[in-house]
Amino acid sequence: MLKGKKIILGITGSIAAYKSVFLLRLLLQEGAEVKVIMTPAAKDFITPLTLSTLSKNPVLTELFDEQSWSNHVMLGRWADLFVIAPLSCNTLAKMAQGICDNLLLAVYLSATCPVAVAPAMDEDMWKHSSTKENLQRLKSFGNSIIPVGNGALASGLHGEGRMAEPEQILEFIKEHFSVANELQGKKVLVTAGPTYEPIDPVRFIGNHSSGKMGIAIANELCNRGAEVTLILGPTKETVNNSRISIIKVTTALEMYEAVENRFDITDLTIMAAAVADYTPVKQATQKIKKHEAGLSLDLIKTRDILKAIGERKKSGQILVGFALETNNETEYAKEKLVKKNADLIVLNSMQDKGAGFNHDTNKVTIFSKDQVFEFETKTKQEVAKDIVDTIIRLYYA
Ligand code: CTP
């Protein structure tokens, strides 16, 4: 099943490191080629000799020694998958912050392959808010988290935080490779975030879109093997997935031009951005001063990007739009499907709790011309998976 797959197994300083030996053996039995990287702390728990003997490859721990330098960039490019098991709390925090003080972290930061981590820690550490936040950051970078188990812990206590068993990690890896390539060779365009329409040098017309949903979709598409370009409006969110090409834009016009430039060579376009419908006719060159009288702004309509590319769509190109509605959701969503010549419309209802702008969760319904797919409230990463699964099932299975 894993024949010919190149895997880097990263091991960090945790008592669960002894289980990595079993994981390594399972990966080798499945035909994978494995290179092992250890953090310095991991060597306190398990010897490199055991791992190098089993993997038939030298175990790498240092960025450089007196004689040589480990090419972390090439390692990250060599691998089809980088699995860090166990992932300690300390390495997790460093990964979340972009710290690079050992070889494992340097490979992580330069890896172009997907990354999966299997955390291992005591329950209290596992439940700490900083751990949750750090894991959330890793997810936002497009990394996969292998769920922890429940049971006996190194502290002698019982609870959540045990590293998943080697067999479970192997299943996760097999599953990853069975779905990872569904969109191999497909060029995908995703728009995300708001647009800002300048009024004067200090003010703009914008909206509350955080860009999280579109970024989660871009990450998911990337994990399925697609070549992803993300056209991103102004957002505080960071996208640290080096496999995604990012084009930053500010206005609706800039977003239109970026989409238009790339649309013809794109197989799948997902328009998750909340594009401004109106923009000021004129942008004042100096700050507008206040006066006793009120202020009226003349606005003109922006180009409807989705509609414009819908009109140009050729056979084989798939177009997915979003609809954000506060009322008559179904009717408006179906109307957008026809008006914009989209293949699917993903409806975000503002009426559902935990859905819409600035939440980490969302609830969507997907409309095609003849089917409706309803989903529960889920994290935006899970919603992204549902959306991508639906697209693959309908058009690429
Ligand atoms: N959209 C677009 N260009 C615009 C406005 C919207 O491409 N100028 C896209 C959005 O990215 C989304 C879809 O159109 O995929 C629907 O956006 P929405 O704001 O819900 O609808 P509108 O078309 O703007 O219509 P209305 O505001 O009347 O609901």
Residue 259 belongs to a domain: yes
Q: Answer yes or no: is the C-beta of 138 below 6 A from any ligand 1 atom.
A: no
Record the pTM: 0.71
**CA of 249 relative to ligand 1 center, distance in Å:** 17
C-alpha span between 39 and 14 (Å, rounded): 10
Point out the domain boundary residue: 144, 163, 179. Answer: 179
Q: Assess whether 120 and 61 both reside in one domain.
A: yes
Residues 193 and 124 reside in one and the same domain:
no
Identify which of 219, 207, 306 has the alpha carbon closest to the alpha carbon of residue 256. 306
What is the total count of domains within the chain? 2
**Same structural domain, 303 and 223:** yes
- Give φ, ψ of 229 to 5 degrees: -115, 125
pLDDT given for residue 178 in this prediction: 78
| Residue 22, in any domain of the structure | yes
Q: What are the residue numbers of the active site?
A: 207
Kindly give the pairing relationship between strand 197-200 and strand 203-205. Answer: antiparallel
Residues 6+ apart with CB under 8 A from 361: 354, 355, 377, 378, 379, 380, 383
| Residue 322 Cβ contacting ligand 1 at under 6 Å | yes
Ligand 1 contact, 233 CB (< 6 A):
no
Q: Are residues 297 and 158 in the same domain?
A: no
Q: What is the token pair recorded at 3?
A: 């024949």
Same domain? For 161 and 201 the reply is no
Could you list the residue range(s) of the whole structural domain that residue 222 is in? 187-396
Query: Would you write out the chain's pLDDT as a tens digit for each of its 397 residues?
Result: 799 899 999 999 999 999 999 999 999 999 999 999 999 999 999 999 999 999 998 898 887 665 666 677 788 889 999 999 999 999 999 999 999 999 999 999 989 888 999 999 988 899 999 999 999 999 888 899 999 988 777 777 778 889 999 999 999 999 888 776 789 899 999 999 999 999 999 999 999 999 999 999 998 998 888 999 999 999 998 886 777 899 999 999 999 999 999 999 999 999 999 999 999 999 999 999 998 889 999 999 999 999 999 999 999 999 999 998 888 889 999 999 999 999 999 998 777 776 666 677 889 999 999 999 999 998 888 899 999 999 999 999 8
The conformational region for residue 340 under phi > 0 = left, psi -120 to 50 = alpha, else beta, is alpha
Residues 234 and 377 occupy one common structural domain: yes
CB 118 within 8 A of CB 146: yes
Give kind and range of the element (H or E) at residue 258.
Answer: helix 252-263
C-alpha dist (Å) from residue 115 to 1, 118, 170, 221, 238: 19, 10, 14, 14, 17
Q: What is the CATH number of the domain that holds 220?
A: 3.40.50.10300
Phi, psi of 336 (to 5 degrees): -65, -35
Nearest alpha carbon, ligand 1 atom 9: 306
- Say which DSSP state 393 is in: I
Q: Could you tell me if 218 and 320 lie in one domain?
A: yes
Closest CA to 388 of 231, 268, 273, 244: 268
Answer yes or no: is the C-beta of 85 below 6 A from any ligand 1 atom.
Answer: no
Residue 239 is assigned to a structural domain of this protein: yes
**Which of 179, 198, 221 corresponds to the end of one domain?**
179
Cα Rg, the chain, nearest whole Å: 24
Q: Could you say which DSSP state residue 363 is in?
A: -
Q: Is the beta carbon of 273 within 6 A of some atom in ligand 1?
A: yes
Distance 304 CA to ligand 1 centre (A): 7
* 49 and 113 co-located in one domain: yes
Do 383 and 243 lie in one domain? The reply is yes
38 and 159 inside one domain: yes
Q: Which residues of 174-189 are buried (b: 16+ CB within 10 A; e: fewer)?
A: eebbebbebbeebebb
Query: The dihedral of CA 83, 89, 90, 95: what is its sign?
Result: positive
Do 159 and 239 belong to one domain? no
CA of 342 to the centre of ligand 1 (A): 12
Distance in angstroms (rounded) separating the CA atoms of residues 135 and 169: 17
**Between vectors from CA 313 to CA 310 and to CA 318, what angle results, nearest 5°?**
90
The answer to the question of residue 247 being in a domain is: yes
**Alpha carbon distance 91, 286 (integer Å):** 49
Q: What angle do CA 223, 226, 230 make, to 5 degrees?
A: 90
Distance CA 212, CA 294 (A): 36
**C-alpha to C-alpha distance for 111 and 192, rounded to whole angstroms:** 24
Q: Is 324 in the pocket of ligand 1 (CB under 6 A)?
A: yes
Contacts 24+ apart (CB under 8 A), 91-95: 91/12, 91/13, 91/39, 92/117, 92/119, 92/131, 92/134, 92/135, 92/138, 93/130, 93/134, 95/134, 95/138, 95/143
Q: Do the domain assignments include residue 1?
A: no
Strand segments (E) across 30-75: 33-38
Q: Report pLDDT for 175.
A: 85
Domain final residue, candidates 145, 179, 213: 179
Tell whether 172 and 200 lie within a shared domain: no
Residue whose CB lies within 8 A of the most ligand 1 atoms, among 306, 307, 357, for a mutation test: 306
**Are 165 and 20 spatial neighbours (Cβ–Cβ below 8 Å)?**
no
Asked, as a colleague might, if the bond just before 198 is cis with ω within 30 of 0, I would say: no
CA atoms within 13 A on the CB side of 250: 8
Q: Are 220 and 244 in contact (CB under 8 A)?
A: no
